[in-house]
Structure 1
């Protein structure tokens, strides 16, 4: 039987946790946070752990089925992923380090096509990427996902000076959330506006949605609970 998702996560995650425990604290006042002494070394060490587990999966050369869950599902063969991809959902979300779609939705490589930018806005590049996922890769589902405590939306609600590039980044968010005084409400409004922009500015996405080839939804990820709530 091929390597199981949970076994894969346990083998790699356990080693990652051990490395994390050995890392030094950033600041005693920031309880619960720590970083490695050498971030690049930590990245490459993490990749070596992943690659070792990946090679084990490659030796099996087949998709695996986890049957112990209430909703068993098939996981992609690493060898198949080396030459192609068939993601079944696209997620446009924030670049926030706490918001990782693969972990939030408990998925494996090849499942999600992910587009990320601070504030999950529908910039030209984001729209083009979603068009690619829908038109070429044929993903039937697109989710725009905002999250609690979003820094980009917080900045858009504030009047603190920013760099020119950051000003351009939050400008569309400012227009979307004008009048909002509650961060959670503003995040939801921004995510809903992004979903609307995708359809308004892309005839390919509009046609796919109209024909039923695409389902477009909006989600809100609550960091304190880990729960994603559908708001559209």
Structure 2
């Protein structure tokens, strides 16, 4: 798939409104960029439907009228499942049931990782390819495991005591903002995580603003019954991917990174 070199960003200061506006414009001119995450969202919607018919307990996404405002932000471009399989639901399962439950979860991660690699490599290299898929999948799995572990050990309804851990988590998400794009460019996951702060330095507040907008949008769309996963995959994840690449374009031209991404 050839990249349209005339389809470039207006590289103003890298801030929320210009980045989102440019991302939406690029996606409108290149609608094929919607496809990978739309397919991933469809896969996640099927997984949700299967979980709801399962005897294995799964938590279903609360509707807008039953939930407070939340941010659905995983640290990488992704569709959002409307169901969550708690770790405690896996305790005591027989092997066939355990394999089925884990298989559905792995299928979701594979779909999201594949969509991320295809979209980001197209944006970075002008053509979609699978070369960084193993590293990217490892990153997705690692983030998923850490997120589930933190959710498991963190007490709920912490009130003001939860503000400190929340601030640390948000700072980590801002630091990791460039990581999916770096991995798609061929950088190892560890290097991408280590160097994320260098790429985002000076633009941290803009990244935080994007995190809030993308996370709130994903939460809102995920609240739509049945189609929530598909909608988040089709409309939020591609914008997230383009926003990541726009950071690299901005920093290479206007920042200290004038050379290709170091592998």
| TM-score, L = length of structure 2 | 0.28
Structure whose residues are more often helix by fraction: 2
Structure whose residues are more often strand by fraction: 1
Question: Which entry has the higher C-alpha Rg, 1 or 2?
Answer: 1
Of structures 1 and 2, the one scoring higher in RCO (CA 8 A, sep 6+) is 2
| TM-score, L = length of structure 1 | 0.31
